[in-house]
Chains A and B, each alone.
Chain A
Amino acid sequence: MSSDEAGKAPATIQPLKFHVPQPASRPGEKPDFSDVVIPKAGSVARPPVDVDPKDIRDLAYSIIRVLNREGEAVGPWVPDLSPEDLVRGLRHMMTLRSFDARMQMAQRQGKTSFYMQHTGEEAVSCAFRIALGPHDMNFPTYRQAGLLIAHDYPLVDMMCQIYSNQRDPMKGRQLPVMYSSKENGFFSISGNLATQFVQAVGWAMASAIKNDTRIAAAWIGDGSTAESDFHAALVFASTYKAPVVLNVVNNQWAISTFQGIARGGSGTFAARGLGFGIPALRVDGNDYLAVYAVAQWAIERARRNLGPTLVEYVTYRAGAHSTSDDPSAYRPKHESDEWPLGDPLVRLKQHLIAIGAWSEERHKQAEAEILATVIAAQKEAESFGTLHSGGKPSARDIFEDVYAELPPHLRRQRQQIGV
């Protein structure tokens, strides 16, 4: 073929077309979730945890749900949680939402540089934490603060981190919400995406190497599953049958990019696990009971040496990506109102009322109590300073912890700024 002919299609062949997936609706259009197929609550079977992964491939394409539209808990996935457990779960989610609202406001008031809310996704991290053991390790992203709150990590410490003040456990070094607490099974948040997902697999492999009983939980968002580290994590988890739960939180939006850009032609994110022989479940991420039940199933598999499980939480990021983001530029303004899986707080509240364990009055009272607790924590945290006023971490802290021991060149640099 001469160079003139190269690349030119003969008349009988159609030219190629470039495909870029598009979301169902954009600003000014009617929100459209008709492609989110929602099975009836209670309709998905619950296999035994030692099931052969090839026998449950259909679970990667369905959605496990427990709470139905009437607020009743139905079907084989109804977990063994008492009304008291559920009230506690509701209070965790309410605390997280209240915490978010106060910290969002604090950022707007200039008390810190940045914040990220969880609105609509509270059930995922709050319920998962309850299913996990106290010594297991999470490798979270920036939208799983429920893992700390549901483990009774002090709100004041979280706020001090957000304010980068003199009591900030991270000594002012980290962007707000990049918490770290080994004691609470919460690995240091990086800020780079997907890096932690494969590290969780490594932590789990270590636990197996040392014949320990602890397991790991990996966390990632829908968008970040496109990163190579996600795929590396699946390979290693599959090869070494690592005791890890691989959590994908599909909240539909990666900043301005809808989930179809990361998912491409694969039906679901859960289905990514199938090619690796990893059992994969999809769960209603706004259903506290379903999240708990699925987490428990996956955690038990890991604990019993049956290997990894991939779980996709189908949820919706009702708020902005962060305080630097404005979703009205890329999705319909009221899209979150149309999200077919509702609000996780409202749904658990409705269930508790339906079983007679809760009431509107108790809810109002709890809201007021929680708000008072959060405000009291905020006052205490602010007494140690906020980003631009009051107590600050020392400039010395810039140079500490770069290495275990301060090397001579850093000692010289520290002397240069006189601290």
Chain B
Amino acid sequence: MPRMTMIEAIRSAMDVAMGRDDDVVVFGEDVGFFGGVFRCTHGLQQKYGVSRCFDAPISESGIVGTAIGMAAYGLKPCVEIQFADYMYPAYDQIVSEAARLRYRSAGDFTCPMVIRMPTGGGIFGGQTHSQSPEALFTHVAGLKTIVPSNPYDAKGLLIAAIEDPDPVIFLEPKRLYNGPFDGHHDKPVTAWSKHALSEVPEGHYTVPLGQAVTRREGAAVSIIAYGTMVHVALAAAEDTGIDAEVIDLRTLVPLDLEAIVASVEKTGRCIVLHEATLTSGFGGELAALVQEHCFYHLEAPVMRVTGWDTPYPHAQEWDYFPGPARLGQALRDIMEAR
């Protein structure tokens, strides 16, 4: 089976989807001739022509707005916002339009589209190239939100998203594009080629939306994570020697509640982990669900380990990033808590 980086897997997903369905079109800033600033669409214009993969003006509201019109016509646009941090001009189109089109027209018009966005920090991108805005999408009824953590899932989930009948936000942790970064920023990152989940089938397959997966079995504490933080969680479990179970959510909406409940009922302890800011983050939702569904199994309060409630700083990136040291401390604390 071929080995792929996350970038290659995402590209392969669009390639497969475009090859199978003439209605799939791909566009965004620098996406056409050049193939995207992260190279995710490299070669697609050459293969499928400028009518299927093309450069868009720098107008995120324009990109999403026209994609909605195309979806209403019957196409399946898969558009790229160059960085999730550039999404805000499109937010009105996403929230007020894409998310509600099916509902407000009683199914007369639908919006089968995917909006891809690189997300998260760890690349010294400062506050405009590092944000994790997933909670701004999970809070909106009508959207589905995906955050893959590895090449295999990225391809399978992206194909599933493109084939989904509703709008899907597909957040790509950019720090994972070229390797399974685990938060140890002072050590070299191993290449994806050395990781089992870089084995990616050439052709069509899907990873269904709404299914979490256990990345590490453990008995002591459950860590609920997604994207880059899955690898941070695995590293922290390794570093501390605490027998943590690591759940990779893969999709935030729809959410695999059963997987979370099963794990926390087993371990009795739960840490929710994300890179986004704490207050009103998706971790708040997860902690509430665990409290509602697992209260009588809990042996300690649910903890959240997240980015701070500040903009993402440039020089102090590693003081901001919730890496294995901060998570490791939380693991020790939650094991002592009674």
Contact = CB atoms under 8 A, between A and B. Distances in A.
A172 B88 CA distance: 24
B70 to A, nearest CB: 11
A296 interface: no
B313 A397 contact: yes
Interface string B276-320: 001100000000000000000000000000001111011110011
Interface string B19-33: 000000000011011
B58 A172 contact: no
Nearest to B25: A18
A229 to B, nearest CB: 7
Interface in B119-160: 124-129
A255 B32 CA distance: 12
B128 A223 contact: no
Among B29, B86, B316, chain A packs the most CB atoms within 10 A around the CB of: B316
B62 interface: yes
Contacts of B89: 227-229
Contacts of A368: none
Contacts of B310: 398-399, 402, 410
A68 interface: no
B205 interface: no
A393 B57 contact: no
A256 B60 CA distance: 17
Nearest to B319: A395
Name the interface size band of chain A.
Answer: 35 or more
A14 interface: no
Interface in A167-214: 168, 172-176, 178, 190-194
B309 A410 contact: yes
Given A20-B50, A254-B58, A193 B314 contact: no
**Overall SS of chain A's interface:** loop
A226 B90 CA distance: 13
Contact of B57 (A26, A174, A226, A410): A226
Interface string A150-180: 0000000000000011001000111110100
A166 B189 CA distance: 28
Given A113-B124, A190-B128, A191-B128, A398 B316 contact: yes
B126 A174 contact: yes
Interface in B20-49: 29-30, 32-34, 37
Contacts, number: 129
Contacts of B199: none
Contacts of A193: 58, 86
A359 interface: no
B279 A262 contact: no
Contacts of A190: 128
A166 to B, nearest CB: 10
Contact of A174 (B56, B278, B314): B314
A387 interface: yes
A20 B50 CA distance: 7
A409 interface: yes
Given A193-B58, A255-B30, A399-B308, A20 B51 contact: yes
A409 to B, nearest CB: 6
Given A168-B315, A330-B33, A228 B86 contact: no
A178 B61 contact: no
Interface string A325-340: 1000110000000000
Nearest to A192: B128
A43 to B, nearest CB: 32
A362 to B, nearest CB: 40
A393 B207 CA distance: 44
Contacts of A12: none
A90 B302 CA distance: 63
B85 interface: yes
Interface residues of B, number: 40
A212 B43 CA distance: 55
Nearest to B51: A18
Interface in A361-419: 387, 392-393, 395, 397-399, 402, 409-410, 413, 417
A239 interface: no
Given A191-B126, A261-B55, A392-B315, A256 B308 contact: no
A173 B55 contact: no
A255 B29 contact: yes
Given A190-B128, A229-B89, A261 B314 contact: no
Contact of B29 (A168, A173, A178, A257): A257
Given A20-B51, A26-B33, A173-B314, A398 B57 contact: no
Contacts of A20: 32, 50-51, 54-55
B314 A257 contact: no
B314 A172 contact: yes
A324 interface: yes
A358 interface: no
A165 B125 CA distance: 16
A263 B195 CA distance: 45
Interface string B62-78: 10000000000000000
Contacts of B316: 172-173, 392-393, 395, 397-398
B59 interface: yes
B278 A175 contact: no
Nearest to A173: B313
Interface string A255-267: 1110001101000
Contacts of B86: 192-193
Given A172-B313, A417-B319, A261 B56 contact: yes
Given A191-B129, A409-B279, A398 B313 contact: yes
A413 B309 contact: yes
Contacts of B29: 254-255, 257
B96 to A, nearest CB: 14
Interface in A254-295: 254-257, 261-262, 264
A79 B33 CA distance: 42
Contacts of A325: 37
20 contacts: A26-B33, A114-B124, A168-B315, A172-B315, A173-B126, A173-B316, A176-B314, A191-B85, A191-B129, A223-B57, A226-B58, A226-B59, A227-B61, A227-B89, A264-B57, A387-B124, A393-B315, A393-B316, A395-B316, A399-B308
Given A22-B50, A192-B86, A398-B316, 17 more contacts: A172-B315, A173-B311, A191-B127, A191-B129, A193-B58, A223-B58, A226-B62, A255-B30, A256-B34, A330-B34, A392-B316, A393-B316, A398-B310, A398-B319, A398-B320, A410-B310, A417-B319
**Closest 9 interchain pairs by CB?**
A172-B315, A175-B126, A226-B57, A191-B128, A256-B34, A164-B315, A113-B124, A226-B59, A395-B319
